[in-house]
Amino acid sequence: MFDSLSGRLQNVFRNLRGLGKISESNVSDALRDVRMALLDADVNFKVARDFIEAVKQKALGEHVVQSVQPGQQMIKIIHDELVTLLGSENAELQLIGNPACVLMCGLHGSGKTTTSAKLAKWLTKQGRSVLLVAADVYRPAAMDQLETLGAKLEIPVFVQKGETDVLKIARDALDFAQLQQRNTLIFDTAGRLQIDEPLVQELVRLRDLVKPQETLLVLDAATGQEAVNVASHFDKALNVTGAVLTKLDGDARGGAALSFKSVVGKPIKFMGVGEKPEDFEPFHPDRMAQRILGMGDIVTLVEKAVEAVDQEKAMALEEKMRKGNFTLDDFLSQLRQMKEMGPLEGIVGMLPGGADMLKGADLSKSEKEFRRMEGILCAMTPKERATPQLLNAKRRQRIAKGSGVSVAEVNNVLRRFDEMREMMKKLGKFQKMAAKFGGKLPGMGMPGMRF
Ligand SMILES: Nc1nc2c(ncn2[C@@H]2O[C@H](COP(=O)(O)OP(=O)(O)OP(=O)(O)O)[C@@H](O)[C@H]2O)c(=O)[nH]1
Ligand SMILES: [Mg+2]
């Protein structure tokens, strides 16, 4: 799904990650690449232009959060804007009334019949009693196709073979639904190669008769920008309530998905991701943005980091570490901050590639160890934490007793602390060096994240 767009944006992000500062010129460079990627994905040029402008305004205007690298912040801005572009939130179907009617419309081959069946299955799972209505009177095989699909899913299909009056079919279907106590009707209509007046007129008459709560435009995601023109036409004539994007499992470049909401102003409600009835999902703009950006859930991670870390403290800590003044008190507050960010598994899972990292690791062990370390550190007096040299054998024994562990474990924590302090001194030097080369070390202001 959107492989090419995804790959290009991820390249831009790779460069952005190392960004030490957000400035007009480096933002412009990155955004030029983003714009090209969008245009190549067949996104409407006005949509691409507005998108870039919005990101730029935010990037240059945004208060820089100290604990997050500027490049990462920029990635988050692009992500958020992409979510807005895709529609912000999942838009649910509004099916009030009994019966509730759904009218499917769209071009020839866009997936109306398949989607009608998928939606029928989905709504049946939600507890609705659905009646599929074969309202395509032009293609002889169309009614058979819907009938077969309905039979497979064990969902009734209203068919009047040979009938050419769509309005008559619709009236009879409504009567039949009442008789059979079906509370939801899905009308599968005919498609055309191009949108034309007779088709539109027929759909308008059908709509006026059945008064659907939902008029869904079925859009083939592979159609690119052209899909947006089609969508505008359908919307003008029928005032659609939303779209279903189909064939997202293919090599769709993404243009239709990314342009629809902002050009037509209606939400994408569902997506089709395969030919089978179960290849169908509600459309979630945020999840889609994350898929396109292929970034795990770095956004949530940045948000959590911003919430959990007191920024001034974090900076003071970094300073201390560079100078080698890191104390056991600092060690303790680091442990606690990490705990505030939530379970380790959650944090690692959100990092790009984190899911792979998690496969072999036993993080519950690390978490237990964290807790034990915290217990040991808490059993020390503030004076001992500030001046670890005070910790002679007698004091270590007292601490072990106080925290319910062996002296060896207390020694172990202290050894790790020493190692960490050493590592940090080195890291401080290394960070300075890396900065010279434009690189940046991971850790987001939280050194000591070792799993
Ligand atoms: N891979 C994939 N194929 C799909 C999807 N949705 C529909 N198709 C396929 O697209 C083709 C056309 O689907 P139909 O449902 O017949 O399209 P239609 O809009 O009803 O076509 P007409 O009635 O001729 O206008 C079929 O071969 C479907 O199996 C999808 O989400 N993914
Ligand atoms: Mg059809």
CA–centroid distance, 115 to ligand 1, in Å, is: 8
Report the residue among 114, 118, 122, 193 best suited for mutation to probe ligand 1: largest number of ligand atoms under 8 A from its CB: 114
Ligand 1 atom with minimal separation from the 191 CA: 25
CA–centroid distance, 284 to ligand 1, in Å, is: 22
CA–centroid distance, 251 to ligand 2, in Å, is: 22
CA–centroid distance, 110 to ligand 2, in Å, is: 8
Same domain assignment for residues 62 and 183: no
**Would you say 301 and 136 are in contact if contact means Cβ atoms under 8 Å apart?**
no
Give the separation between CA 56 and CA 51, rounded to whole angstroms: 9
Report the residue among 275, 276, 279, 280 best suited for mutation to probe ligand 1: largest number of ligand atoms under 8 A from its CB: 275
Ligand 1 atom with minimal separation from the 272 CA: 31
Same domain assignment for residues 181 and 231: yes
CA–centroid distance, 216 to ligand 1, in Å, is: 15
* Partners of residue 74 on adjacent β-strands: none
**Would you say 222 and 250 are in contact if contact means Cβ atoms under 8 Å apart?**
yes
In CATH, what number is assigned to the domain containing residue 427?
1.10.260.30
In CATH, what number is assigned to the domain containing residue 20?
1.20.120.140
- Among 60, 86, 112, the domain-final residue is 86
| Domain contains 289 | no
Ligand 1 atom with minimal separation from the 118 CA: 6
Residue 137's identity, in one-letter code, is V
| Residue ranges in 265-327 assigned as alpha helix (H) | 285-293, 298-308, 311-323
| Domain contains 223 | yes
Name the residue with the closest Cα to ligand 1, atom 17. Answer: 111
Would residue 404 be called left, alpha or beta, if left means φ above 0 and alpha means ψ between -120 and 50 degrees?
A: left
Ligand 1 atom with minimal separation from the 271 CA: 31
CA–centroid distance, 145 to ligand 2, in Å, is: 8
Same domain assignment for residues 201 and 255: yes
Name the residue with the closest Cα to ligand 1, atom 3. Answer: 275
Same domain assignment for residues 309 and 410: yes
Give me the tens of pLDDT residue by residue for the chain, a chain 451 residues long: 777 888 888 888 877 776 667 777 778 888 999 999 999 888 888 899 999 999 988 888 766 555 566 777 788 888 899 999 998 888 889 998 889 999 999 988 999 999 999 999 999 999 999 999 999 998 878 999 999 999 999 999 999 998 999 999 999 999 999 999 999 999 999 987 777 788 889 999 999 999 999 999 999 988 877 778 888 989 999 999 999 999 988 777 778 888 899 889 999 999 998 899 988 989 989 888 887 876 654 555 555 555 555 556 666 666 766 666 778 887 787 777 666 665 555 555 555 454 555 555 565 666 777 788 888 999 999 899 988 889 999 999 999 998 899 999 999 889 888 877 776 666 566 555 545 544 333 433 333 333 2
Residues of the domain holding 71 = 3-86
Give the separation between CA 268 and CA 90, rounded to whole angstroms: 8
- Among 55, 86, 117, the domain-final residue is 86
Give the separation between CA 307 and CA 301, rounded to whole angstroms: 10
Name the residue with the closest Cα to ligand 1, atom 4. Answer: 275
Give the separation between CA 68 and CA 443, rounded to whole angstroms: 9
Q: Count how many domains the chain has.
A: 3
| Domain contains 292 | no
Cα angle 228-230-232, degrees, rounded to a multiple of 5: 70
Q: What is the tens place of the pLDDT at every residue in 312-339?
A: 666 666 676 666 677 888 778 777 766 6
CA–centroid distance, 243 to ligand 1, in Å, is: 15
Name the residue with the closest Cα to ligand 1, atom 10. Answer: 111
**Would you say 153 and 277 are in contact if contact means Cβ atoms under 8 Å apart?**
yes
- Among 57, 86, 115, the domain-final residue is 86
Residues with CB under 6 A from ligand 1: 106, 108-114, 136, 139, 142, 191, 246-247, 249-250, 272-275, 279
Same domain assignment for residues 275 and 409: no
| Domain contains 447 | no
Same domain assignment for residues 332 and 371: yes
